[in-house]
Each structure stands twice: as structure tokens, then as C-alpha cells.
């Protein structure tokens, strides 16, 4: 009886799956071909990602117990490293497993708001007195190198950063009075300070303070640093922005601001103004070095998201471009997938704007048309997730690993195949914790 | 086994003997040398377990068998007096006690001290004798921390912040009183850690169930400090000097102006320490190896100064008042801040200052309005100001060096001089009415009005606010003493009214002020009962229950301006508190006394207010945890031989389990029913003391005391999550202290030498906040009366 009952469901499912294969977000793996009409779509084999054992990278899952990890609310972040996020993986759990994210001697606590690159994490830890380069290796944290502050000082999770190359990292933030922007250039290999100073950047008209960190990014094509920021009439959260956000162009060699910063005419505020991109990714580049920035404007009783673009080699936003039109809420994170497509995490404001409201969802966005397809699997849209301050997505080896936290099931990973557009359900994460961040990290030597 | 049989046999003999013999009444009155009746004086029949206490009129009554007996009357602060009688008929025997210069442990040995009487009452209570230790003690917290079920967690040395917990309940669930009046009246800077020791006679620590007469909305319990009530003139002055540049001076005196009868009571207490103790294994940058290396460094910015000056003037024994006193006090505290909430955050300039003026009046009258009605009234106003200075743009390290920083030390923002003005008005009225010797009633009303006027001298963007918190606590209790005092019952009801006016709006996402602006008034009821039944003298049982409510403190609601964020959305805690236990005192032979006590308790708490450390910013905030259930057991044994040798040991076990079923996103929480982290859960203490009498000269004694404190290690975070080897722990503590006290000329001169943390063990009460290592303290005390 069970078989007979199951058969119609199976046929129905197969039909639905073949139908969904036509869409970008089809939950299938039976279409190996890419889209030849989309420039930049990589030639892909059936499955470009190596087997978990052959990979040179792994995934770090950041979870907290009792309270969210972001926004300084954590009871202690626990990092669990796994090599496999497919459905074949065991249930991911931190019961007696994973490592508390603090230095081995307990002198410092690390924040989940961090910089990840290659094998390492970089951050200003809770002592607010140094830069730290560290690794998570199995169930231990290894401090690779530290560098005390010499001149400029920073606060844990309140700065922005940019990579000039694989070896040069720039940290930048407002000072304590928030009336100047200070910067420090680090050699990421040995963490020595290459230089530091204060930007020759004036407060916007009418402003008494800068926003805490702003967003810094290095535009390789232009060989310039782009700094997105705004001013407020007073410090604290009651301070109001004096204008839309501005863009300052900085010479990365001299760290001098070039020209006059321009007030943005398209959106009010960039995403991530207080914490840079330490948790959430809000800047991306396509193959042609076009820069995209997630932003929003208070309008229509919501924080309406925008995706803005600075064309390659330009210094100002393309006034004709709107990559995320008719938003129903805030655009939170963006990650480029290739083939003119991006993975975005956004919110339907009508469903709630609280941190834990189940109002957040993932979409695949066509950067040319602005069309977006909500992430679906087995013909059903994946329900809303909770987690405003979350970055549960990574893109690696032709796949996007997308962590969700829906109301009615365990948190889990969905795997989006960039070439085929298929979506498969991956590993599950044990219930009971806050799952706020997923990172992909090269394996330690 | 032989001993057990002997004990049972002896008990049987006592019982059968008592049944078989004819009994005569022995009654009388106990007075002081002025003829004033003394209440609660212990009358014991030497060599037996029989005894009683005097009533309000100083009268007592005993039934004894025919023959010779020695009766001893003893009372704290008075020489015990013994009288022999050959009983052949009903007999009247009066005692006239003389005041004692210093109450030695003999009071505890030969009779039931007041402390013992309190312990043996219906409430679950620890009673500590301060007076007998006044010559050697330099910090009340040191003694309190050794009481059963009590844990004082300190951040550092003298003057550091501390949290006192009773049966696992957080320090701020505990309320502090001086003679039934909130300690806050002396200013927020005055705490158990810096109160002049000579001012205090004894301490009562109520566990879970708090008498309605205290007017406390305390969830975990209450600490009531009982001041010295000596009748005659005296001068008690002491000075102590210790390690880490520590100096302490106390003065407490009483002078009666004979012409007017005015009584003057000046009090002065001063504490100072540099707290420059060695920090072991702190991180110091080594440029050559380009690494932080663990090094030992002295604290360099932890100076502490506190002072309390008070003058009390009044009269006693007037027709219109048994006692009427007014007092003015001034307290001051200056505290340098060495670290944030973890020692990796090093400060070198930030400091906190506070001072307070207080004016109080108290009035006591028996037969007030009607016969037998006793009135106790208290009124005070305190101008309490505090200032946190965080203006240095410097970043310090453990070498004491600094770089010029781009931000301040504590918050990492701009310069700040944050003022808090918290005017406090307290009014208390207590009416006590004994219907007869078996039944009495008590009605207590307490008003507590706290303002929170805050502003910043430097930070122009700081939003000034003036929040007001008003609490009314009304308590009615009924006391029964039946079967010749063998059964004691207390029933009580409490009504709590909380009125809050919130005006602050800054940091609203952190403080919750956006949802709580304006005025709010809430009413809550509580109540409970306690009972004690003495089966035979060496064995009594007692149990108590309270449905308690605790209204949030101003500090919890409104923050402290530096390390504690406001949370104006905090709700009152409430709890079902249950205690049950047994106790007894057994005198197996002449000069041997063995006391024991064992208790079990439960605390079923809702909306538990808990400090959550947000380590990443080094700041804290109090928050409501939906529920915590705490269960525990504790036990204590005390042995005394001839007033010379005292041995005691106690152990406490507390198991606090989280009751949050769901996370903030509505899904099941992994922490449900898990042990709440970052709190001691099993700890114990042991003490031994020996007194050599009349050593070197008459009327002298030499006393040696050794104590050992043990705390089991515990996890900082939820123990089940993360690999155990990676988890942060607060390590076990094994602390041994030793004290030598020599007193001569009948207690007129006293000298003590204390070595704390004798073995120089690393000790942490809180994660990565190291306490002092081995320290010495010498104290000289002059007591003239």
C-alpha cells in the first residue's frame, strides 16, 4: 500500500522537477549545460566541485548558544569546521564539538564579525588593542600573528576593510569623536603595519560625526579605493543622516582623498554602514570589474533596497542603473555568482523587520534585467528565514552554499549549482542554536 | 558505634528522668545594671540541654527537677552571669548583667548567643558575629563569603565591584539593610566591603524567605546588618595597614552629655589601597619575537579610596520617645579603573567617583497610641552623585605604557564625563503589636524613591535624562509561639508597587527605552510562611516558603553609565522560594558543644534578572531570563570546646537550570534545562580557631584562626557546547587564610595579623579578573568604655 501511495507522489515530483529545470533555481542536477548566451558563464563539467576529501578548503559554521552572535549579543561563539555540506554529511551539531571562538589562553574573545581570506581570519579582538590573524584548525583556535596598535586604534566589530592585494589589508574607521576617519595599512603576511594615518576627508555639510565605519572597497580596475560613508547631525543612534551617502575616491598609494566626495542621488544609505563587511557582504564585482553596492532608502514605510553600480573605471554610480528594482524591503547581502547573476539576501519588510522575524529570503538576481527568482527547491519556494544579521552563504567551486533558518524545520544548507541553476538540499544543522555565519576557508597546511 | 549507643542511651535517660521527676518552676527577670529589662537573654541550665529566653519584659520561666542546678544568663554585649540554686520548691531567680567590653566567644559557648537564637528561628538564616571579630576583621565580605550558601564574587582587590549571591541567586537579588533600613541610605558607594567594622555588631543573612518587617522586595534573600547598641559611653578606634599599600581606619564612639541627656555617636571609616598586586600571566608584547608573552605585572591604576563619616545625635528614654535620633552622614569613594570586564582590556586613566550626603531621622516608641504597640519610624534623604571620567585618548598595556589613541578607554567613543545624580528618599514605618506571649503582629511600610538624573559634562551629544523610580513595599506578618516556644510559626503578606518614569531615550535599541517611555505603575502581591518545631533540644526542624517579588534596582534598570547599559524594559523577578531543614545543638559532655544544620532549598524563578557580560565590548546589561530553577542543599557543622577551640565546616551545592524552552526566534532552545553557566555550583569552607586565655598577662587572650575556602571550577559558557578542551573555565579556588589576634587589658588593646591567600594561589571569581595573591594585614584596635 505504501508503494502504491508513494508512486503518484514520485511521478508528480519528477514532473515538477523537470519543469523546474527550466528555471534558474531548478532543484535538479540533470542539466549539465551552462547558458551560452550569458557572457562570462564558465564552462562547467557535471560537478566542478571536488569531493570533500580532495578539497583544499573547508567550511566554518559559526553558531552561538543562548543568543545571537552578531551585534555583540553572543554567549560565546562556537565555530565548527566541516568539509562537506551536502546531504551526505552528518547532522552538524556543536554538542561537545566545535571550538569556542577565543584565544587558547583565554585572554581574548574573538568576534564573529571578522575578515576572512584564504586560510586565515583577521580581526580586532575584544581587547581593542591589536590586530589578530588567526586560524580555526579542527577544534582549536590558532593565533598566527598579532600586531599591537601603534598609532590608530579600533574597536572590535566597528571598522571597514579592503584588500589591495593578497598581502595588503587596509583597516579604516571613524575615530572616537567620529569626526575623522583613521586608517591602517597592514602586511597581511606578518601583520606589520605598513602605514597609517588620517584621511583628508571633511565632515559632510551639517554633520558633526561620521558613521562608525562606512564601507571601503578596492576597485582594481580603477586602482582606487572607494569609500562610502555619510554624516550625522549628532553621535549615537538618535543622530540623523545629513544627506544621502557619499563616495570618496582614495589613492591607495598615498591614502589621499581625490576630488570632492559626491552625494549619492540614487539611495539614502549603503548597507552595513556601522560594521563594514565584517559580517555581511554588501559590495561585489563582476567579471568586467563593475562595482555593485547594496543600499537602501527609507521610503514607502519601509527600508527599500537598491543595488547600485559603478561601471568599470568610473568614479560615480551609473544613474541609469537599478539592479534591484521594486524592492519589498531591505537588501542585506549580495554575492556575485558569475554569468551576470548574483545571490542576494533580502527582507520583505511587510513580514517583519525584527532580527528574528521570518521575513528574510534568498534570490538569484539577473544583474541586467533586475529580475529575481526566489530560491526554490522541489518546486517550492524556500520559506522565509529568520536572522537579520546573518551571512550564511558562500560561493565556491561553481556552487553557492546557502544556509537557511526557516520557522518549521531545522536550519540547513541548500546548494545552488551556478551552471545549471539547480538547487539541492544539503546538510542539516541541529536545532537549538543560532546559526548566523558560514565561511569558506582554505585548509591549513 | 559505641558512641552512638551511648548517645541514644543518654538521651533516653534524660527523657525518662524528666518524665519521672517532680518539676518546680524557676522564674525571674533579667535586667542591666540600670534596671532595664533585657529581652532575648539566654538562660541555660549548665550541663543540660535545657534553656529558654527572656520575653519583652526580661522575664523567663523554666521547669526543673528537684536538686542543684547552675543557671547562666548570657546576652551579647554583657558578661554572662551564673547562679547556683538548690531547688526544692518554686523559686524566683533574677539576674543583673553587666556590660562586657568585648563579647568573646564565651557568649556563644555557654549560652545561646543571639546569633544562635536567630539561626534557630523559623527563617532560613545565617547569623554572623562581627563583634567578636572586630579586632581582626578588615572586610565584612571576607566573613560573609565563608557563610553557608553564600558566595561573594569579587573583580579584584579592595573596593572592587562584587556580587553577593545567596543560595545561587544573583547578587542584585539580595537586598542590604542596616537595622532594617536599606543600606542605600548611606549612598551607593557604601557597601559591605567598606563599611566601618566597628559599627556592626552582627549580620543576619536571610535565605530566600525574608521577614516582612524588612520591607524587602528581595528575591534571593536579604542581608541585615545590626549595629552596636551599647548603652554606655565608649570609644572604639582602629587602624590597619596591609599589603598593596592598604590602610584602613575606623572610629566609632558614643558620648552622653549628662546635662541634657543628648547622646552623640560619631562614626568614621576610611579605606585606601593602591591594589598594586601582581597580575600573573598577563599578555605583554615582545617586539623582538613579535608575540604577546605571558608576564607578571603589577596593577598600576587601581587606587581606591572610600570614606564614611556620620554623626548621630539623639535621646533615649523620654516620655515621648524611647529613642529619637537624627544623623548626618557623608560618604565618598574614588576608584581608578584598571580593566574592563576582562583583564585583557587595560585602562590607565579612567576612574569613577561618587559621593553622597544623607540626612536621617529615626524614632522608636513603645506603647505608641495604645498599650503594647511599638512604633519604629525612619525617614531619610540621600543626595547620591557619581561621576565616571573617561577622557583620556590613550591605550594602555600591562607595562603601564600607552599610545595616544583615537578614542576613549572604556567605550571607545569620544571623551566623556558622565554624571549620575540619584537622589534617594526612604521612609519606613514599622508597627509591632504583641497580642499576648503567643501571638504578635507586625505591619511594615517602606517607600523608596530613586531619581536618575544624568548628564555628560563633555559629550555634548549625550542625552540627559531624569528617570524616577518609586517603590512601595507593604508587609503584614503574624507570629505564633506555641507549646512553650517549641513551635514557632510566622505568616506574612507583602504588597509591592512599582512606579517608573522613564525619560532616557538614547541607546534605545540597547536599553529598550523606545517601548517604555512615560510612566508605568504596577502592583504585585507576595507572601509566605515559616515554621520551626523543636522536637528535642538537639533536634529541630524548620521550613519556610515565600512567593517573592523583586522590583528591578535603579542600577539594573538605568545602568551605571560605564560598564552597565540601562535596560528600562526589565520586568520584576518573581519566585517560589522553599526552604526545609533540620538543626540542633548537642552538648554531649561538659564543655563540648556540637551544632549542626542541614537545609535543602528550591528557587523557582520567573523573569530572573541576570547580568549578561557582553565580552566583545567589555560591557554588561541586566536582562530578564524567562526562568531559572535552582535546587540545592547545604550543611554546616560547628564544634566548640570550652570556649577555646572552635571548628566549623560547611558545604553548599546549587544547581541552577535554565528554563527557556524557546529561543528568540521561537524555535526550541538548546539550553533548556541545562545548567546555567558562569556561576559557582559547589563550594565549601572550613575554619579552625583556638584561644589561649590569660597568656602573658591577666585579662588577655591570644587567638589563632585558620580558614580554608574552596570553590569547584566552572564553565564560563554553556557546558554542553563546543569541545570541552576549548571551553573557557573559571578555575578552582583553594584559599587558605590565617589570623593571629592578641587582646589584653580586658579587650582594651587588640592587635591582629592576618595573612590572606597564604599559599599565594591564583584566584578568580570572574572570568579573567584575577584577585590578589598572598597579602598581609596588621590591625591595632583600641576599645575604651
Quick: pLDDT tens for B649-699. 999 999 999 998 988 889 999 999 999 999 999 999 999 999 998 888 888
Quick check: B20 and B52 in contact, CB under 8 A?
no
Mean pLDDT over the full length of chain A: 87
Is residue A14 predicted with pLDDT exceeding 60?
no
Q: Average pLDDT in the A208-223 region?
A: 93
Would you put residue B34 in left (φ > 0), alpha (ψ -120 to 50) or beta?
A: alpha
Q: Any idea what DSSP says for residue B134?
A: T
Determine the residue of chain B that is closest to A110 in CA distance. Answer: B616
Q: How many CB atoms lie within 10 A of CB B319?
A: 6
CB contact under 8 A, A65 and B721: yes
Q: Average pLDDT in the B134-162 region?
A: 91
Quick check: B505 and B84 in contact, CB under 8 A?
no
Nearest CA-CA distance, residue B506 and chain A, Å = 7
Quick check: B773 and B760 in contact, CB under 8 A?
yes
Confidence of residue B110 (pLDDT cuts 50, 70, 90): very low
Nearest CA-CA distance, residue A136 and chain B, Å = 11
Is residue B594 predicted with pLDDT exceeding 90?
yes
Q: Which of B290, B460, B615, B628 would best serve as a mutation to test chain A binding (most A beta carbons within 10 A)?
A: B615
Query: Is B280 part of the contact surface with chain A (CB cutoff 8 Å)?
Result: no
Burial class (CB in 10 A: 0-12, 13-18, 19+), B171: middle
Q: Average pLDDT in the B414-441 region?
A: 93
Q: Average pLDDT in the B588-617 region?
A: 81
Query: Residue A245 domain-assigned?
Result: yes
Query: Residue A374 domain-assigned?
Result: no
Query: Residue A165 domain-assigned?
Result: yes
CB contact under 8 A, B726 and A95: no
Determine phi and psi for B9, rounding to 5 degrees.
Answer: -60, -45
Residues 6+ apart with CB under 8 A from A110: A77, A101, A102, A103, A121, A123, A125, A126, A132, A134, A141
Is residue B514 predicted with pLDDT exceeding 80?
no
Is residue A116 predicted with pLDDT exceeding 60?
yes
Is residue B619 predicted with pLDDT exceeding 60?
no
Tens of pLDDT along A141-174?
Answer: 999 999 999 999 999 989 999 999 999 999 999 9
Nearest CA-CA distance, residue A405 and chain B, Å = 10
Query: Residue A230 domain-assigned?
Result: yes
Nearest CA-CA distance, residue B621 and chain A, Å = 10
Q: Average pLDDT in the B210-227 region?
A: 90
Quick check: B559 and B565 in contact, CB under 8 A?
yes
Determine the residue of chain B that is closest to A144 in CA distance. Answer: B291
Query: Which residues on chain A are in Cβ contact (under 8 Å) with B670?
Result: 65, 95, 430-433
CB contact under 8 A, A99 and B669: no
Residues A414 and A427: their CA atoms lie apart, in Å, by 8
Determine the residue of chain A that is closest to B395 in CA distance. Answer: A129
Query: Is B346 part of the contact surface with chain A (CB cutoff 8 Å)?
Result: yes
The DSSP H or E segment spanning A303 is strand A302-310
Residues B262 and B252: their CA atoms lie apart, in Å, by 17
CB contact under 8 A, A237 and B507: yes
pLDDT at A44: 40
Q: Which of B393, B667, B720, B729 would best serve as a mutation to test chain A binding (most A beta carbons within 10 A)?
A: B667
Determine the residue of chain A that is closest to B391 in CA distance. Answer: A176
Scored b (16 or more CB within 10 A) or e, B252-281 reads bbbebeeeeeebebbbbbbbbbbbbbebee
Determine the residue of chain A that is closest to B397 in CA distance. Answer: A129
C-alpha cell, A419: 551552471
Sign, CA torsion B297/B298/B301/B306: positive
Residues A122 and A278: their CA atoms lie apart, in Å, by 10
Q: Which residue has the higher pLDDT, B616 or A144?
A: A144
Single out the residue of A149, A153, A131, A133 nearest to residue A141, CA to CA: A133
Residues B220 and B208: their CA atoms lie apart, in Å, by 5
CB contact under 8 A, B671 and A95: no
Which region among A171-180, A281-290, B128-137 has the lowest average model confidence (pLDDT)?
A: B128-137
Interface of B with A in 603-622 (CB under 8 A): 612, 614-618
Q: Any idea what DSSP says for residue B721?
A: B
Q: How many CB atoms lie within 10 A of CB A190?
A: 12
Residues B326 and B158: their CA atoms lie apart, in Å, by 31
Residues B60 and B43: their CA atoms lie apart, in Å, by 8
Q: Average pLDDT in the B537-545 region?
A: 92
Determine the residue of chain A that is closest to B662 in CA distance. Answer: A432
Query: Residue A326 domain-assigned?
Result: no
Query: Residue A343 domain-assigned?
Result: no
Is residue B641 predicted with pLDDT exceeding 50?
yes
Q: Average pLDDT in the B273-286 region?
A: 96
Is residue B362 predicted with pLDDT exceeding 90?
yes
Single out the residue of A363, A367, A415 nearest to residue A384, CA to CA: A363
Look-up of cell digits 523567663 = B60
Quick check: B415 and B458 in contact, CB under 8 A?
yes
Q: Average pLDDT in the A334-357 region?
A: 93
For residues A295, A298, A299, A304, the Cα torsion angle rounded to the nearest 10 degrees is 30
Confidence of residue A47 (pLDDT cuts 50, 70, 90): low
Question: Count of CB contacts below 8 A, A vs B?
Answer: 193
Confidence of residue B345 (pLDDT cuts 50, 70, 90): very high
Residues A431 and A429: their CA atoms lie apart, in Å, by 6
Provide the percentage of residues in chain B whose pLDDT is more than 70: 89
Is residue B230 predicted with pLDDT exceeding 80?
no
Which region among B115-119, B194-198, B343-347 has the lowest average model confidence (pLDDT)?
A: B115-119
Q: How many CB atoms lie within 10 A of CB A265?
A: 9
Interface of B with A in 319-338 (CB under 8 A): none
**Sheet containing B200-207, strands listed edge to edge, beginning at the edge strand earlier in sequence:** B125-129, B200-207, B221-227, B174-178, B181-182
Mean pLDDT over the full length of chain B: 87
CB contact under 8 A, B406 and A153: yes
Is residue B176 predicted with pLDDT exceeding 50?
yes
Q: How many CB atoms lie within 10 A of CB B578?
A: 19
Diameter of chain A measured on Cα atoms: 77
C-alpha cell, A203: 565632515
Residues B412 and A157: their CA atoms lie apart, in Å, by 12
B112: helix, coil or strand? coil
Pairing of strands B200-207, B221-227: antiparallel
pLDDT at B100: 65
The DSSP H or E segment spanning B141 is helix B140-144
C-alpha cell, B351: 576612574
The domain in which residue A167 lies consists of: 158-277
Query: Residue A239 domain-assigned?
Result: yes
Strand partners, B425: B381, B449
Of the candidates A106, A156, A175, the beta carbon closest to that of B406 is on A175
Q: Average pLDDT in the B67-87 region?
A: 82
Of the candidates B285, B408, B716, the beta carbon closest to that of A148 is on B285
pLDDT at B72: 85
Query: Which residues on chain A are in Cβ contact (under 8 Å) with B342?
Result: 107, 109, 126-127
Query: Which residues on chain A are in Cβ contact (under 8 Å) with B408?
Result: 176
Provide the percentage of residues in chain B whose pLDDT is more than 90: 58
CB contact under 8 A, A432 and B670: yes
CB contact under 8 A, A180 and B406: yes
User: Count of domains in chain A?
Assistant: 1
pLDDT at B104: 37
Nearest CA-CA distance, residue B421 and chain A, Å = 22
Is residue A274 predicted with pLDDT exceeding 90?
no
CB contact under 8 A, A99 and B722: yes
Q: Average pLDDT in the B430-436 region?
A: 94
Residues B624 and B108: their CA atoms lie apart, in Å, by 43
Single out the residue of B276, B365, B356 nearest to residue B318, CA to CA: B365
Query: Residue A252 domain-assigned?
Result: yes
Confidence of residue B379 (pLDDT cuts 50, 70, 90): very high
Is residue A178 predicted with pLDDT exceeding 50?
yes
Amino acid at each position: 500500500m505504501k508503494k502504491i501511495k508513494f508512486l503518484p507522489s514520485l511521478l508528480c515530483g519528477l514532473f515538477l522537477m523537470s519543469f523546474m529545470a527550466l528555471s534558474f533555481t531548478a532543484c535538479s542536477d540533470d542539466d549539465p549545460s551552462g547558458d551560452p548566451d550569458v557572457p562570462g558563464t564558465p564552462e562547467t563539467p557535471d560537478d566542478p566541485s571536488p569531493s570533500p576529501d580532495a578539497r583544499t578548503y573547508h567550511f566554518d559554521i559559526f553558531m552561538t548558544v543562548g543568543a545571537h552572535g552578531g551585534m555583540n549579543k553572543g554567549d560565546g561563539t562556537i565555530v565548527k569546521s566541516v568539509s562537506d555540506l551536502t546531504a551526505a554529511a552528518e547532522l552538524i551539531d556543536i554538542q561537545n564539538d566545535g571550538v569556542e571562538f577565543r584565544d587558547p589562553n583565554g585572554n581574548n574573545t574573538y568576534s564573529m564579525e571578522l575578515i576572512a581570506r584564504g586560510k586565515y581570519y583577521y580581526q580586532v579582538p575584544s581587547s581593542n588593542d591589536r590586530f589578530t590573524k588567526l586560524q580555526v584548525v579542527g577544534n582549536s583556535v590558532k593565533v598566527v600573528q598579532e600586531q599591537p596598535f601603534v598609532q590608530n586604534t579600533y574597536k572590535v566589530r566597528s571598522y571597514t576593510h579592503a584588500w589591495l592585494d593578497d598581502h595588503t589589508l587596509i583597516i579604516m574607521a571613524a575615530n572616537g569623536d567620529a569626526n575623522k576617519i583613521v586608517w591602517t595599512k597592514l602586511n597581511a603576511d606578518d601583520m606589520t603595519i605598513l602605514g597609517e594615518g588620517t584621511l583628508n576627508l571633511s565632515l559632510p555639510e551639517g554633520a558633526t560625526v561620521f558613521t562608525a565605519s562606512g564601507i571601503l572597497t578596492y576597485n582594481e580596475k580603477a586602482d582606487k579605493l572607494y569609500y562610502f560613508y555619510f554624516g550625522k547631525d549628532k553621535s549615537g543612534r538618535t543622530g540623523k543622516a545629513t544627506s544621502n551617502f557619499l563616495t570618496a575616491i582614495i589613492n591607495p598609494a598615498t591614502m589621499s582623498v581625490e576630488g570632492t566626495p559626491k552625494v549619492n542621488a540614487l539611495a539614502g544609505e549603503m548597507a552595513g554602514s556601522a560594521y563594514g563587511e565584517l559580517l555581511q557582504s554588501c559590495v561585489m564585482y563582476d567579471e568586467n570589474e563593475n562595482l555593485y553596492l547594496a543600499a537602501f532608502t527609507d521610503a514607502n514605510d519601509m527600508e527599500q533596497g537598491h543595488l547600485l553600480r559603478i561601471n568599470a573605471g568610473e568614479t560615480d554610480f551609473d544613474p541609469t542603473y537599478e539592479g534591484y528594482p521594486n524592492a519589498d524591503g531591505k537588501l542585506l547581502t549580495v554575492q556575485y555568482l558569475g554569468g551576470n547573476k548574483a545571490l542576494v539576501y533580502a527582507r520583505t519588510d511587510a513580514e517583519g523587520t525584527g532580527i528574528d522575524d521570518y521575513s528574510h529570503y534568498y534570490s538569484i538576481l539577473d544583474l541586467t534585467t533586475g529580475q529575481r527568482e526566489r530560491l526554490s527547491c522541489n518546486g517550492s519556494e524556500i520559506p522565509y528565514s529568520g536572522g537579520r544579521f546573518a551571512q550564511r552563504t558562500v560561493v565556491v567551486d561553481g556552487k553557492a552554499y546557502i544556509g537557511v533558518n526557516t520557522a518549521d524545520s531545522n536550519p540547513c544548507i541548500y546548494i545552488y549549482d551556478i551552471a545549471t541553476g539547480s538547487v539541492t538540499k544539503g546538510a542539516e544543522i541541529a536545532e537549538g542554536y543560532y546559526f548566523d555565519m558560514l565561511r569558506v576557508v582554505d585548509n591549513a597546511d | 558505634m559505641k558512641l552512638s549507643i551511648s548517645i541514644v542511651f543518654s538521651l533516653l535517660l534524660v527523657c525518662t528522668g524528666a518524665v519521672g521527676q517532680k518539676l518546680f518552676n524557676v522564674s525571674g527577670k533579667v535586667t542591666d545594671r540600670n534596671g532595664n529589662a533585657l529581652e532575648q537573654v539566654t538562660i541555660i541550665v549548665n550541663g543540660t540541654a535545657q534553656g529558654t529566653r527572656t520575653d519583652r519584659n526580661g522575664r523567663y520561666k523554666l521547669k526543673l527537677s528537684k536538686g542543684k542546678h547552675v543557671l547562666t544568663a548570657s546576652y551579647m554585649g554583657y558578661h554572662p552571669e551564673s547562679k547556683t540554686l538548690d531547688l526544692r520548691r518554686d523559686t524566683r531567680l533574677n539576674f543583673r548583667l553587666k556590660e562586657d567590653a568585648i563579647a568573646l566567644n564565651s557568649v556563644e559557648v555557654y549560652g545561646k548567643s543571639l546569633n544562635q537564637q536567630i539561626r534557630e528561628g523559623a527563617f532560613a538564616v545565617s547569623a554572623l558575629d562581627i563583634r567578636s571579630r572586630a579586632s581582626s576583621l578588615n572586610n565584612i565580605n571576607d566573613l560573609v563569603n565563608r557563610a553557608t550558601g553564600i558566595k561573594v564574587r569579587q573583580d579584584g582587590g579592595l573596593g572592587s565591584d562584587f556580587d553577593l549571591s545567596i543560595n545561587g541567586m544573583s547578587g542584585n537579588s539580595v537586598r542590604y539593610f542596616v537595622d532594617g533600613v536599606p543600606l542605600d541610605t548611606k549612598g551607593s558607594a557604601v557597601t559591605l566591603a567598606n563599611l566601618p567594622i566597628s559599627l556592626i555588631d552582627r549580620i543576619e543573612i536571610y535565605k530566600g524567605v525574608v521577614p516582612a518587617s524588612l520591607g524587602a522586595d528581595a528575591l534571593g534573600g536579604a542581608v541585615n546588618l545590626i549595629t552596636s547598641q551599647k548603652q554606655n559611653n565608649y570609644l572604639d578606634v582602629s587602624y590597619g595597614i596591609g599589603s598593596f599599600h592598604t590602610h584602613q581606619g575606623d572610629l566609632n564612639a558614643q558620648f552622653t552629655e549628662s546635662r541634657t541627656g543628648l547622646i552623640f555617636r560619631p562614626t568614621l571609616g576610611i579605606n585606601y589601597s593602591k591594589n598594586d598586586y601582581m597580575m600573573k600571566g598577563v599578555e605583554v608584547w615582545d617586539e623582538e619575537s613579535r608575540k604577546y608573552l605571558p608576564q607578571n605585572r603589577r596593577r598600576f591604576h587601581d587606587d581606591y579610596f572610600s570614606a564614611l563619616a556620620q554623626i548621630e545625635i539623639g535621646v533615649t528614654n523620654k516620655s515621648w520617645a524611647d529613642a529619637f535620633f537624627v544623623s548626618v552622614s557623608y560618604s565618598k569613594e574614588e576608584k581608578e579603573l584598571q580593566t574592563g570586564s576582562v583583564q585583557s582590556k587595560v585602562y590607565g586613566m579612567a576612574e569613577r567617583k561618587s559621593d553622597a550626603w544623607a540626612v536621617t531621622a529615626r524614632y522608636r516608641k513603645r506603647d505608641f497610641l495604645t498599650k503594647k504597640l511599638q512604633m519604629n519610624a525612619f525617614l531619610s534623604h540621600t543626595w547620591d552623585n557619581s561621576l565616571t571620567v573617561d577622557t583620556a585618548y590613550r591605550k594602555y598595556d600591562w607595562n603601564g605604557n600607552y599610545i595616544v589613541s583615537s578614542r576613549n578607554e572604556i567605550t571607545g567613543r569620544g571623551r566623556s564625563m558622565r554624571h549620575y545624580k540619584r537622589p534617594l528618599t526612604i521612609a519606613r514605618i514599622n508597627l509591632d503589636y504583641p497580642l499576648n506571649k503567643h501571638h504578635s503582629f507586625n505591619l511594615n511600610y517602606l517607600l523608596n524613591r530613586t531619581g536618575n538624573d544624568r548628564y555628560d559634562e563633555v559629550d555634548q551629544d549625550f542625552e540627559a535624562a531624569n528617570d524616577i523610580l518609586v517603590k512601595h513595599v507593604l508587609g503584614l506578618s503574624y507570629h505564633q509561639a506555641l507549646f512553650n516556644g517549641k513551635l514557632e510559626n510566622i505568616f506574612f503578606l507583602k504588597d509591592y508597587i512599582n512606579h517608573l518614569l522613564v525619560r532616557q531615550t538614547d541607546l534605545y535599541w540597547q536599553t529598550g527605552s523606545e517601548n517604555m517611555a512615560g510612566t508605568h505603575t504596577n502592583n504585585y502581591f507576595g507572601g509566605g510562611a515559616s515554621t520551626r518545631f523543636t522536637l528535642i533540644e538537639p533536634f529541630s526542624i524548620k521550613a519556610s516558603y515565600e512567593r517573592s517579588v523583586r522590583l528591578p534596582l535603579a542600577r539594573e534598570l538605568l545602568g551605571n553609565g560605564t560598564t552597565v547599559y540601562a535596560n528600562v524594559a526589565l520586568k520584576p523577578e518573581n519566585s517560589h522560594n522553599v526552604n526545609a531543614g533540620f538543626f540542633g545543638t548537642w552538648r554531649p559532655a561538659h564543655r563540648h558543644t556540637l551544632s549542626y544544620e542541614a537545609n535543602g532549598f528550591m528557587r523557582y524563578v520567573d523573569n530572573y534578572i541576570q547580568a549578561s557580560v557582553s565580552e566583545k565590548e567589555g560591557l554588561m546589561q541586566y536582562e530578564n531570563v524567562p526562568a531559572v530553577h535552582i535546587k540545592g542543599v547545604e550543611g554546616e557543622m560547628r564544634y566548640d570546646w570550652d570556649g577555646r577551640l572552635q571548628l566549623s565546616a560547611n558545604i553548599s551545592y546549587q544547581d541552577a537550570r535554565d528554563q527557556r524552552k524557546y529561543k528568540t526566534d521561537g524555535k526550541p532552545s538548546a539550553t533548556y534545562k541545562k545548567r546555567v553557566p558562569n556561576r559557582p555550583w559547589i563550594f565549601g569552607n572550613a575554619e579552625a580557631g583556638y584561644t589561649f586565655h590569660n597568656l602573658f598577662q591577666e585579662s588577655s587572650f591570644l587567638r589563632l584562626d585558620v580558614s580554608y575556602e574552596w570553590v569547584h571550577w566552572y564553565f564560563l559558557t554553556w557546558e554542553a557546547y563546543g569541545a570541552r578542551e576549548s571551553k573557557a573555565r573559571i578555575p578552582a579556588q583553594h584559599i587558605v587564610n590565617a589570623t593571629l589576634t592578641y587582646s589584653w587589658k580586658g579587650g582594651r588593646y587588640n592587635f591582629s595579623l592576618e595573612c590572606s591567600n597564604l599559599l599565594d594561589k591564583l584566584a578568580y571569581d570572574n572570568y579573567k579578573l584575577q584577585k590578589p595573591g598572598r597579602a598581609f594585614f596588621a590591625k591595632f584596635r583600641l576599645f575604651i568604655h
